[in-house]
Structure 1
Amino acid sequence: MSTIAKAFELLELFTDARPRLGLSDVQRLTARDKATLHRHLVALEKIGFLEQDSETRAYCLGPTLTRLAGMRARTVPEVEMVRAVVDALSREAGELVHVSRLRGFDLVDVYHAEHHSHPVRVSFDAYGLPPLFATASGKAFLAFSPASKLIEALDVPRTWVTPENHPDKIALRAELDAIARCGYARSRDTLRTGVSSVAIPLFDANHVAVATCAIAFPTGRGGADTEQRLAGLLMAAGAEMSRALGGDVPRNVRDIWTMSREKAAL
């Protein structure tokens, strides 16, 4: 690993639980030479990637990171942020993969890809706004959002599967709790007959669910085994997709994804 890479790797040590680190803390976490670590920390401070408290001598992330993050958000379209990850996931899954951003309670397409040679495909309307409760994406978002989001969504008729039928709150809450425990949502012939999907939430830098990624496939392509395989691919890529959007997956969700994938592999 190059000297520059080793220096920048130190930035990954800072987390919500460890916002400030002293030289001894960094040495304990990395088991590297103390003198070398000090040089790297000083260099990162000089270019603004770190700040040092003059009294405690502890380091925290610096203003240059804020400036660069803001510049990326302003100059790089979301579609470009996720394109490479979604393309790779679609090739591996052999199905349609789409990322949606939540705008209020509407699922707005960010980017979708379908890299496979199956003669039977899932048609995808990039400009449609599907009812939140009729999709795996919508349920994945609600399952990993505060309970207040569900209450708000239930008051908006366009989120219902059909405008005439108000969702059963108790049954829906139980379903969302089950989704939160297993790490992903599923949909089978709900929005359209013959179409199934699995979905996970994507998170921002504050660990808030703000987007979703789903894999849609013809129901006839497979049953529970297919669903578990595709959900496993999603959960394996979830952290990378959240990072691509400038976010981070909460530790408890990472743990759920890991446990679900290990259980499916048994």
Structure 2
Amino acid sequence: MQSIERAFDLLELMADAGGEVALSELAETSGLPLPTIHRIMRTLVSSGYARQQPSRRYSLGPRLIRLGETASRSLGSWARPYLAELTEATGETSNMAVLDGDQVVYVAQVPSQHSMRMFTEVGRRVDAHATAVGKAVLADLAADSVAQLLERSGMRAQTERTITSVGAMQDELARIREQGYAVDDGEREVGVRCYAVALPGAPAGAAISISGPEGRMTRMSTDTLVPLMQRLAEKLAAELRTASHGA
């Protein structure tokens, strides 16, 4: 059991580092002896869960893709009833996304019935700094972890409103923690506004969101919207925690 736990810990450390590390980096961050890490990584490579690059550095392996896709489908099936309730109450498109490496990936969506509505493909990966779901998840992380992630991702400007500095993002995340929700105010796509709340205590960093054209979304009252989203996020997070503990 200890070897299994260590293997998963090393995979998590690789993901936290952006998906590629050297043995010396794993030794420094994990505190495990180099021979132990080398033995575990050799096993992960032989089974396809890790790869060794020509540079001798290790990266996450292709077999993790199938596991991730299956996990995403499972998360989507849990999330859809809650997203459906959110869309029914607001009339706008609702989503769930999870942090995967340095980006967020959308795992479920219930679309609006409006002819003009927002649509994001399930499985699409986007930069965390320019999305409400990403910022909601980042607000739950330690400041040093956020800084490292943002420095790796580069914080590319996607519109003129995109936050592109680590310091400004840290200030934004402090506001999100204080108010309990995140806003994407045309930061990823001009004319689009999105609200998101994190799933408290979920097994993986995740958030749900509601998005639509800026004109409709600005007329929406956050006094009623945010408590609804927080209630649904808490119920979904509790279900995910129960499923995780049951496994």
Q: Same fold (TM over 0.5)?
A: yes
> Could you tell me which residue of structure 2 aligns to residue 221 of structure 1?
216
Which residue of the other structure, out of 124, 129, 132, is the alignment partner of 2:125?
A: 129
CA distance in 2 between partners of 1:107 and 1:169 (Å): 18
Q: Specify the alignment match of 1:117 in structure 2.
A: 113
CA distance in 2, matches of 1:201, 1:173: 17
Q: 2: CA distance between counterparts of 1:155 and 1:103?
A: 16
Matched, 1:188 2:185: yes
Q: Matched residue of 1:215: which SS? A: strand
Judge conservation of contact 1:200–1:212 (CA < 8 Å) in 2. Answer: yes
Deviation at 1:213, TM superposition (A): 0.7
Structure 1 segment 6-45 matched on structure 2, within 5 A: none
Q: Shift of residue 184 of structure 1? A: 0.4
Which string of whole-angstrom CA distances, capped at 9 and with x for unpartnered residues, describes residues 201-260 of structure 1? 11446xx66111111111011426444443232112121011122269xxxxxxxxxxxx
- 1:174 and 1:79, CA in 2 relative to 1: closer, same or farther beyond 3 A? same
Give, in angstroms, the shift of residue 169 of structure 1: 2.4
Aligned to 1:10: none
Name the CA shift for 1:147/1:224 in 2 (closer, same or farther; >3 Å).
Answer: farther
Report the counterpart of residue 232 of structure 1 in structure 2. Answer: 227
Residues 83-133 of structure 1: per-residue CA shift (max 9 Å, x gap): 21121221112111111121112211211102x432321122334322111
Match of 2:141 in 1: 145
- 1:65 maps to none
Structure having the higher Rg:
1
The Cα of 1:78 is off from its aligned counterpart by 1.8
**1:41 — aligned with what?**
none
User: 4+ runs of 1 displaced by more than 4 Å?
Assistant: none
Query: Which amino acid in the other structure matches residue 209 of structure 2?
Result: A
Whole-angstrom CA distance in 2 between matches of 1:169 and 1:224: 30
- Correspondence list, 1:33-72, <5 A: none
8 Å contact kept, 2:92–2:113? no
Question: Identity percentage over the alignment?
Answer: 24
Give the superposition deviation at 1:150.
Answer: 1.0
TM-score (norm 2): 0.61
CA change 1:129–1:201 in 2 (3 A) is same
Distance across 1 between alignment mates of 2:209 and 2:95: 5
Under a length normalisation based on structure 1, what TM-score does the superposition of the two structures give?
Answer: 0.57
In structure 1, the residue matched to 2:78 is 81
From the superposition, tell whether residues 111 and 146 of structure 1 become closer, same or farther in structure 2 (CA, over 3 Å). same
Q: Is the 8 A contact 2:102 2:153 kept in 1?
A: no
Q: List alignment gaps of at least 5 residues for structure 1.
A: 1-72, 249-266
Instruction: Give the residue type in structure 2 aligned to 1:134.
Output: A
Q: Give, in angstroms, the shift of residue 161 of structure 1.
A: 3.4
Q: Deviations over 1:176-202 (max 9, x none)?
A: 101001100001111111111011111
Amino acid in the other structure paired with 2:110: A
Tell me the equivalent position of 2:240.
245
What is the alpha-carbon distance in structure 2 between the residues aligned to residue 221 and residue 173 of structure 1? 28
Give 1:210's aligned residue.
205
Q: Is the 8 A contact 1:153 1:159 kept in 2?
A: no
Q: CA RMSD in A?
A: 2.8
Structure-2 change in CA distance of 1:185 and 1:86 (3 Å) = same
How many residues are aligned here?
171
SS at match of 2:98: strand
Q: Partners in 2 of 1:166 and 1:85 — Cα distance?
A: 30
SS of 2:225's partner is helix
CA spacing shift, 1:225–1:82, aligned 2, 3 Å: closer
Could you say if the C-alpha distance between residues 119 and 178 of structure 1 is closer, same or farther in structure 2, counting changes exceeding 3 Å? same
Q: Residues of 2 paired with 1:99 and 1:155: CA distance? A: 25
